[in-house]
Amino acid sequence: MPDTPPSPADAPAAVSAKLRLATVWLAGCSGCHMSFLDLDEFLFDLAERAEVVFSPVASDLKAFPENVDLCLVEGAVANVDNLELALTLRQHSRMVVSFGDCAVTANVPGLRNLLTGPEAVLERGYVELADSGAQLPHAPGIVPELLEKVLPLHEVIPVDLYLPGCPPSAERIRAAIEPLLHGQPPRMEGASMLRFG
Ligand code: SF4
């Protein structure tokens, strides 16, 4: 992990080469990624300026790459796989954006924190509510272990920018990332950029 993560003021410098862009899906519903795809024609502009080097919507790469300029992270941190990926992406990304309310606050996945730990969650989901075949999932190395609590991203790694919304609208996503593509920090001000939900 870098000693001092860059701030939005240290947005990726104006790029001559393409900016290396990653998007990551942790514990979320993929709605934030769907909103990203709603960028429509701006996706063509994005493709001119950025190379998508890791994303659930653009590649099936399993290993997070090195030297990423900008990484959008959807979802909270709910299990050991989420945690490992969050630590890895921080290590290899200059700017990390907490992308959507689940990443920013834990939001919907965080509702399970109302129960007392992962055992209670699994018991409720797989035994108490089962119509048939009640059984706790147990497959070490295949089914990732749940963390004790679901955490927002910034409780696990430093983040450089918060982009709230459930999901953030395509307009808001564009307003946040377009300046970054030009080496400028976005203006994260007002309800149009900062309202949750
Ligand atoms: S913030 Fe909303 S849209 Fe995005 S992953 Fe969470 S629940 Fe889905």
Q: Provide CB contacts within 8 A for 139, sequence distance 6+.
A: none
Question: Which residues face 93 on adjacent strands?
Answer: 68
Number of helices (H), then strands (E), belonging to the chain: the values are: 7, 7
Q: Name the residue of 24, 26, 30, 32 to mutate for ligand 1: max ligand atoms within 8 A of Cβ.
A: 32
Q: Provide CB contacts within 8 A for 19, sequence distance 6+.
A: 12, 49, 50, 51, 69, 70, 180, 181
- At 6 the three-state DSSP class reads coil
Question: From ligand 1's centre to the CA of 46, what distance in Å?
Answer: 22
**pLDDT given at position 3:** 44
Question: From ligand 1's centre to the CA of 43, what distance in Å?
Answer: 21
* Beta-carbon-side half-sphere exposure of residue 108 (alpha carbons within 13 Å): 15
**Separation of alpha carbons 97 and 58, rounded Å:** 18
- At 70 the three-state DSSP class reads strand
Q: Tell me the whole-structure pTM to 2 decimals.
A: 0.89
Q: Which residues line ligand 1 (CB under 6 A)?
A: 28-29, 31-32, 74-75, 100-102, 107-108, 166-167
* Residue (of 177, 173, 178) closest to 193 by Cα position: 173
**pLDDT given at position 139:** 84
Q: Name the residue of 24, 29, 98 to mutate for ligand 1: max ligand atoms within 8 A of Cβ.
A: 29
Q: Provide CB contacts within 8 A for 162, sequence distance 6+.
A: 97, 98, 104, 154, 188
Question: From ligand 1's centre to the CA of 82, what distance in Å?
Answer: 15
Question: From ligand 1's centre to the CA of 29, what distance in Å?
Answer: 5
CA-nearest residue, atom 6 of ligand 1: 102
How would you write the pLDDT of the chain (197 residues) with one tens digit per residue?
344 444 554 555 544 589 999 999 999 999 999 999 999 999 999 999 999 999 999 878 889 999 999 999 999 999 999 999 999 999 999 999 999 999 999 999 999 999 999 999 999 999 999 999 999 988 888 889 999 999 999 999 999 999 999 999 999 999 999 999 888 999 999 999 999 99
Question: From ligand 1's centre to the CA of 15, what distance in Å?
Answer: 30
Cβ neighbours, 10 Å, residue 60: 6
**pLDDT given at position 12:** 56
CATH superfamily of 9-110+150-186: NADH:ubiquinone oxidoreductase-like, 20kDa subunit (3.40.50.700)
| Domain ranges (residues) in the chain | 9-110+150-186
